[in-house]
Amino acid sequence: MRPHPRYFIFWILSRIYCWLLLIWLVELFRRKLKKIKNRNARNAQLQRALEDDAANQLKPVHLRRSRTQIARYHGISRDTLKWLAEGGRSMSAFNAEKQKLKAPEERILVDHILQSADQGFPLSHKKVVMHANSIIRSRPQGYASEKDLIDPESNWVDRFLIRHNDELQTHWSKALDTQWARALNSTAVAHWFNDIVKPHVADLGIERRDTYAMDESGFTPSDEGRERVIGRRGTKTQHKQGGADHENVTALVTICADGTVLKPSIVYKGKNFMTK
């Protein structure tokens, strides 16, 4: 709906401003990701050069390459390689020491997030912070104070996701009944096709037009099972396990194997059930 002609110009300017702001934010995020990817590539380059230099020092003197040759091969300066080989730290390593979680600890957290998501229990932002603080509390040397812990209201999770954007991304969760999740395994699937479908349908020559499937689905009056969670990058839908024993509206759907369908039946909660 367009505004009053008197305010039309302000409406146009506000729309343009919103689009420009959105474009700027997307570009800012893109540059941030590019910077992180370049930094990770640079760190990997320095690490390969250090490993090559360390292996070179173990060779006989007449077979060793000069440090200049090694640095040139890996595309870095000789002074940088010499400084790192003598115990110097890169800026990335220095900044990593100031992070709430060390690199090995972040690796543990990433693996836990991926495993939880694959099993149908994706973690929300608050749960990621909770597990991160659990890792901090479990350090053998302990932690100095509560200041070492991560504030749930901070943007730490957003920065954590940017650092591991090649593996993690956010999804909208989709409810998956616990019984369905447990039933989805290789043994149950093989039993269904080999022991039920093949002898009772395929081998008997039952046609698709004579095959119907009916199922019921429950829906709550208000959708409360949807939230922003973290899962594996590249997956389109992140299922979330939960109980299906709550009161709901039931839909009975009947579909034929040839693609035709019957009208669904909707069953609501009875108001006068078992009453006189």
Query: pLDDT for 162-204, tens place per residue?
Result: 888 888 888 877 666 565 666 667 888 888 888 888 998 889 9
pLDDT band at residue 8 using 50, 70 and 90 as cut-offs: confident
Domain encompassing residue 31: 1-98
Query: What size, in residues, is the chain?
Result: 276
Of 53, 78, 98, the position where a domain reaches its end is: 98
Same domain, 186 and 262: yes
- 218 contacts 242 by C-beta, under 8 angstroms: no
The single residue listed with the structure tokens 């009875």 is 270
**Dist CA 119 CA 259 (whole Å):** 32
- Per-residue pLDDT at 244 exceeds 50: no
When divided into structural domains, the chain yields a total of: 3
Q: In DSSP terms, which residues pair with 266 in a beta bridge?
A: 251
What is the amino acid identity at position 211?
A: T
- In a domain, residue 237? The reply is no
